[in-house]
């Protein structure tokens, strides 16, 4: 299930459950003749149902739907106004489902801020005109509800972030994996089309990979791969990104880099790798295939294929070299 769908379900569930709870309070108050509280609960139920409908209407932009903040701010403000005006101590308990809903629906900081704004007047009202024991118990209950809810949401956000990092990062090297490459490359192509800036890519491969694996084993090759990744992170500039394709191949995306630039950086990478003594391995040479986006290149496939073919060209021409293949240009 995607993050957007998961949020659509949890938001709907939260709004729906809170609407049921507040509506049952409305019916109870109607039964006992507390008409002001009945109307308050009815208005809150309507706002909660509006939240439910809004969730479904914005189900494709759930992560950035701004209307939730307005709806929840309205609910919180309504409750605070009622607590201040109605002088009914039982209303303070209605804050509990709102605290949970704020945290469930809004981003953590927004949810916490709104909940704090709700808690201050609610706790103030509880201490005003009630016994200290009752006020203490209610205040602690509300604070505990907020703290546990916030802790749980923080924990969830943390796990979700770690899972996302794991999904796009190569566990051996810490570089991005190929799954993330197409996504980023497509974004960079769109950006280059929109801004007119040059975009270049490099496909880098170790020479003599089979011999290295035979001599030093899979572990030796993995260690070398990890060291080369660290080395590459030190050579490329901020804004460039590095991806691992398999245990001996890398892909680099170089935004704002023209043909002359990619030739310079490819040569710099080739030389810096070739000149170094690699621990446990000795000398290493690499072949690099480079290309720059032409105005006919609108998809990731053409750029990736061309860089790969250029890398094979470099290999065929004796390895330890870089080969540049020009981009596809069409008359506009």
Ligand X SMILES: Nc1nc2c(ncn2[C@@H]2O[C@H](COP(=O)(O)OP(=O)(O)OP(=O)(O)O)[C@@H](O)[C@H]2O)c(=O)[nH]1
Rounded to 10 degrees, the C-alpha dihedral 115/120/126/128 comes to -160
Give the C-alpha separation, 25 to 30, whole Å.
9
121 or 261: whose CB is closer to ligand X? 261
16 or 261: whose CB is closer to ligand X? 261
Using CB under 6 A as the binding rule, whether residue 184 contacts ligand X is answered as no
Find the shortest distance in angstroms from Cβ 310 to ligand X: 17
Q: Binding marks (x or -) toward ligand X, 242..281, rule CB under 6 A?
A: ------------x--x---x--xx----------------
Q: Could you give the strand order of the β-sheet that contains 322-325, starting from the edge strand earlier in sequence?
A: 176-177, 241-246, 249-255, 199-206, 286-292, 322-325
Find the shortest distance in angstroms from Cβ 235 to ligand X: 6
Find the shortest distance in angstroms from Cβ 253 to ligand X: 9
- Measured at CB, which residue is nearest to ligand X? 261
**How many other C-beta atoms are found inside a 10 Å radius of the C-beta of residue 133?**
8
H or E stretch covering 300: helix 300-316
48 or 228: whose CB is closer to ligand X? 228
Find the shortest distance in angstroms from Cβ 269 to ligand X: 9
**How many other C-beta atoms are found inside a 10 Å radius of the C-beta of residue 229?**
18
306 or 315: whose CB is closer to ligand X? 306
Q: Binding marks (x or -) toward ligand X, 214..243, rule CB under 6 A?
A: ----------------------xx--x---
Find the shortest distance in angstroms from Cβ 271 to ligand X: 12
Using CB under 6 A as the binding rule, whether residue 108 contacts ligand X is answered as no
Give the C-alpha separation, 171 to 168, whole Å.
9
Rg (C-alpha) for the chain, rounded Å, is: 30
In 249-299, where does DSSP find H-type helix? Answer: 259-275
103 or 265: whose CB is closer to ligand X? 265
Find the shortest distance in angstroms from Cβ 94 to ligand X: 57
37 or 254: whose CB is closer to ligand X? 254
Using CB under 6 A as the binding rule, whether residue 191 contacts ligand X is answered as no
State how beta strands 249-255 and 199-206 pair.
Answer: antiparallel
Residue with tokens 């489902």: 97
Query: How many residues bind to ligand X according to rule CB under 6 A?
Result: 8
Separation in Å, CA 281 to CA 219, 278, 295, 305: 12, 5, 42, 30
Instruction: Name the nearest CA neighbour of 324 among 299, 281, 293, 283.
Output: 293
141 or 261: whose CB is closer to ligand X? 261
**Applying CB under 6 A, which residues contact ligand X?**
236-237, 240, 254, 257, 261, 264-265
């Amino acid at each position: 299930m995607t993050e957007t769908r998961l949020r659509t379900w949890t938001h709907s569930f939260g709004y729906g459950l809170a609407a049921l709870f507040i509506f049952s309070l409305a019916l109870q108050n109607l039964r006992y003749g507390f008409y002001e509280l009945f109307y308050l609960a009815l208005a809150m139920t309507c706002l909660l149902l509006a939240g439910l409908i809004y969730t479904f209407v914005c189900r494709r932009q759930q992560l950035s739907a701004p209307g939730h903040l307005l709806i929840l701010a309205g609910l919180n403000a309504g409750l605070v106004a009622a607590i201040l005006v109605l002088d009914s101590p039982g209303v303070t308990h209605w804050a509990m489902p709102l605290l949970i809903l704020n945290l469930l629906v809004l981003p953590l900081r927004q949810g916490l801020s709104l909940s704090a704004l709700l808690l201050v007047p609610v706790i103030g009202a509880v201490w005003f005109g009630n016994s200290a024991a009752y006020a203490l118990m209610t205040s602690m209950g509300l604070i505990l509800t907020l703290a546990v809810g916030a802790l749980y949401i923080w924990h969830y956000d943390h796990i979700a972030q770690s899972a996302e990092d794991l999904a796009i990062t190569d566990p051996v090297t810490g570089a991005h994996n190929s799954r993330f490459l197409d996504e980023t490359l497509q974004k960079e192509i769109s950006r280059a089309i929109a801004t007119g800036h040059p975009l270049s890519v490099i496909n880098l491969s170790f020479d003599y990979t089979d011999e290295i694996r035979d001599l030093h084993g899979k572990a030796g090759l993995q260690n070398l791969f990890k060291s080369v990744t660290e080395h590459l992170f030190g050579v490329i500039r901020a804004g460039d990104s590095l991806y691992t394709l398999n245990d001996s191949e890398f892909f680099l995306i170089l935004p704002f880099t023209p043909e002359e630039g990619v030739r310079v950086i490819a040569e710099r990478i080739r030389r810096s790798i070739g000149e170094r003594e690699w621990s446990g391995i000795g000398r290493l040479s690499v072949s690099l295939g480079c290309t720059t986006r032409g105005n006919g290149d609108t998809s990731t496939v053409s750029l990736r294929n061309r860089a790969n073919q250029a890398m094979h060209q470099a290999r065929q021409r004796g390895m330890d070299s870089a080969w540049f293949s020009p981009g596809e240009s069409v008359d506009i």
